[in-house]
């Protein structure tokens, strides 16, 4: 996955996000969190997009302070964490 001439970052997918995408991780070049998530939506399709809508997204284990405008740096790890269901 490549977006603009931006640094490579790692996208980590958990639970239903992993199932919807068909992989557990990917590498993407993206300047901002929004660009990365847009590229992931395009690559993985509608089911993934629906999961992403209800998920938390963290960069390096922390919530992004600037939301979609948060700049990404080379080596960042972006995790998509869907809600946990249980019973």
- What is the tens place of the pLDDT at every residue in 1-42? 544 568 999 999 999 999 999 999 999 999 999 999 999 999
Beta strands 56-59 and 77-81 are: antiparallel
Nearest residue to 71 via CA among 59, 61, 79: 59
Give the pLDDT of residue 1.
55
- CA atoms within 13 A of residue 6's CA, in its CB half-sphere: 21
Give the pLDDT of residue 86.
55
pTM of the model: 0.89
**CB 48 within 8 Å of CB 40:** yes
Beta strands 8-13 and 25-29 are: antiparallel
Give mean pLDDT, residues 46-70: 97
Q: Using alpha carbons only, how large is the chain's radius of gyration in Å?
A: 12
Give the pLDDT of residue 84.
79
CATH architecture observed for domain 8-81: Roll (3.10)
């Amino acid at each position: 996955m490549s977006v603009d001439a931006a640094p490579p970052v790692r996208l980590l997918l958990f639970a239903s996000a992993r199932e919807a995408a068909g992989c557990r991780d990917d590498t993407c070049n993206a300047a901002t969190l929004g660009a990365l998530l847009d590229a992931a939506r395009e690559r993985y399709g509608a089911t993934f997009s629906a999961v992403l809508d209800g998920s938390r997204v963290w960069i390096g284990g922390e919530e992004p302070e600037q939301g979609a405008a948060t700049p990404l740096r080379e080596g960042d790890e972006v995790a998509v964490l869907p809600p946990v269901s249980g019973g």
